[in-house]
């Protein structure tokens, strides 16, 4: 089998496994946070959590597919490792950026809710 095919196969398997692991972790650990963000409404929190995980998988797996093409020749193990490191690095950075963006958005939602509650109490 050609080195490039092996490299593509390893890239796809590792990227998909990492994406599933991160998505599962976010889904499980984000549920409680979303309940707080949505004032204890567990049904709404679960619904939003499900929609977020679907979007997360669509964006990340689409990105993995788009990033699959390797620009140069992959002749040996060294080229294979370098290509894999670059591709997986981009996938990991994308996952990290998406994670912190989501945290920021939910922090702002929660902060606004706390400010609204404080305003209501002071009226």
pLDDT of residue 24: 92
pLDDT for res 15: 92
**Domain ranges, residue 114:** 3-121
Residue for token digits 């994308």?
94
Instruction: Determine the pLDDT at residue 110.
Output: 77
pLDDT tens-digit map of 64-86: 998 887 877 888 888 888 889 99
Contact 52, 28 (CB under 8 A): no
Distance of CA 70 to the CA centre of its chain: 22
- Inter-axis angle of helices 42-66 and 3-37, nearest 10: 160
| Residues 6 or more apart whose Cβ sits within 8 Å of residue 15 | 64, 87, 88, 91
| Number of independent structural domains in the chain | 1
| Positions of the chain with pLDDT lower than 50, given as ranges | none
Q: What is the value of pTM for the model shown?
A: 0.76
Pairwise CA distance, residues 46 & 75, whole Å: 48
Residues 6+ apart with CB under 8 A from 76: 3
Percentage of the chain modeled with pLDDT above 90: 27
Interatomic CA distance for residues 23 and 68, integer angstroms: 20
List, for residues 98-108, the tens digit of each pLDDT value.
888 888 887 88
Token look-up 């993995």 returns 64
- Residue 89 has a pLDDT of 92
């Amino acid at each position: 089998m050609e080195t490039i095919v092996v490299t593509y196969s390893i890239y796809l398997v590792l990227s998909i496994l990492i994406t599933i692991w991160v998505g599962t972790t976010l889904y499980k650990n984000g549920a409680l946070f979303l309940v707080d963000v949505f004032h204890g409404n567990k049904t709404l929190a679960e619904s939003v959590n499900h929609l977020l995980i679907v979007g997360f998988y669509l964006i990340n797996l689409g990105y993995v597919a788009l990033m699959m093409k390797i620009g140069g020749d992959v002749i040996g193990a060294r080229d294979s490792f370098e290509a894999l490191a670059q591709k997986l690095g981009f996938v990991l950075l994308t996952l990290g950026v998406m994670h912190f963006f989501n945290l920021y958005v939910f922090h702002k939602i929660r902060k606004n809710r706390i400010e609204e509650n404080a305003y209501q109490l002071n009226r």
